[in-house]
A and B are shown apart, each in its own frame.
Chain A
Amino acid sequence: MRPVWKDFLTGCRDALPVTLTFSVLFIAVGANSQASGLGLFQGLALTALVFAAPAQLAATDLIAQGAWLPALLAIVVINFRFLLMSASIAPYLGKPPRSALLGSVQMISASTFATSFIKLREGCMTYPLHYFLGVCAASFPTAILATAAGYAVQDSIPVWLHGSMTMILPIYFVTFLAKLWPMARFLIAGLLGLVLTPLANSLLPGFGLIVTALAVATLLLILEPKVCPKTT
């Protein structure tokens, strides 16, 4: 029987790209929090409790303008996508005690979710929750530390680096889609998501991601027997 710690350590190891991505992303989040007038502890609390860079960036921009309710709504609307992520990963986490689930769900982010989901879906982990916790144990503290670092380096981030800071997440997420090759039906889902989400976002700001994901999943499930023969 595979020991528990082995799955945990595999999670930590697989989270290495997440820690690199978070190091860059949350430095930007920390810098933005400071520029928006949040104190260090408020910035750290925002990362620890909201734990979603896009929601944090949007909220801190609105806080800077004194738009308190829109800031809260931005967090609520952007993090609404966690409903779907949480529902998607739930079947692959096994049946751990409820208290263990309640303690670990806070660390679901787009990156920890995608990293864990791809691996857990393969069904190769004896202790799936421990694998997920391994991914989170490497990623979550990195986000907190990078937020603090963002406060320290706020004025010294070179302008030319800003583009890479926003592109590191999509570049990392492309590697997940590449791992799906040659499963055409899942690649089609990813491609449709890529093309349709910005369009849906322009029509339903904030809800584009979840609306597109639900629509694409429904469409592909309906079409599955005709155009997408099962590959697994």
Chain B
Amino acid sequence: MSENDLIWLVILAGAGASYAFRSLPLLMISRLDLEEGGSDVLRFFDYATYAIIGGIIGSALIGGDALSAAIRDPRLAVGLATVAATFVFCLRYRGSLLPLFAGVGLYQGLSWWVV
């Protein structure tokens, strides 16, 4: 099998697995009437969703395979300061666009200054 074929194999097998992960729970849960008797289930998924959102932020700030090195990296302090400032900025202005631009600008500025 050529290298090109192997790349396609990885892409297609990865696509199949990804599609299964995306579709199976949706197909099963969308048929359930959770509003009626499943409020605990709904709240469980609410909590899980916000933990995922927080987790994506945390994973981006600290790489998983080098935790101790990442903690000593000044870029972590810059990232945390940016995240905190964006949160406060978003509380003041709501919306997503302005805080997004402000956050990226702040990160760029702090990176030049600190790192």
Contact = CB atoms under 8 A, between A and B. Distances in A.
A106 B22 contact: yes
B35 to A, nearest CB: 7
Contacts, number: 295
Contacts of A71: 10, 14
Q: How large is the interface on B (under 10, 10 to 19, 20 to 34, 35 or more residues)?
A: 35 or more
Contact of B51 (A20, A169, A192): A192
A108 B103 CA distance: 25
B53 A172 contact: no
Interface in B24-49: 24-32, 34-35, 38, 40-49
Nearest to B47: A217
Given A75-B18, A86-B23, A180 B50 contact: yes
A199 B67 contact: yes
Contact of A193 (B12, B15, B44, B50): B50
A217 B27 contact: no
Interface stretch (A2-10, A91-99, A145-153): A91-99
Interface in A48-85: 49-52, 54-55, 59, 63, 66, 68, 71-72, 75-76, 79-85
B48 A84 contact: yes
Nearest to A176: B53
Nearest to A195: B58
A110 B26 CA distance: 15
By Cβ-Cβ distance, the 9 closest A-B pairs, closest first, are A193-B54, A201-B64, A49-B15, A197-B55, A75-B14, A178-B90, A193-B51, A171-B103, A190-B54
Given A95-B31, A164-B104, A171-B99, 18 more contacts: A20-B100, A42-B8, A51-B18, A66-B3, A76-B17, A86-B22, A87-B25, A102-B27, A178-B86, A181-B91, A189-B46, A189-B47, A190-B50, A191-B54, A198-B61, A198-B63, A217-B46, A218-B44
23 contacts: A17-B97, A68-B9, A71-B14, A76-B14, A80-B21, A83-B21, A86-B23, A91-B34, A93-B26, A101-B23, A110-B56, A160-B108, A170-B57, A171-B83, A174-B103, A176-B53, A179-B94, A181-B91, A190-B53, A197-B56, A212-B51, A217-B46, A217-B48
Interface of A: 16-17, 20-21, 37-39, 42, 45-46, 49-52, 54-55, 59, 63, 66, 68, 71-72, 75-76, 79-91, 93-96, 98, 101-102, 105-106, 108, 110, 114, 117, 121, 160, 163-164, 166-181, 185-187, 189-199, 201-202, 205-206, 208-209, 212-214, 216-218, 220-221, 224
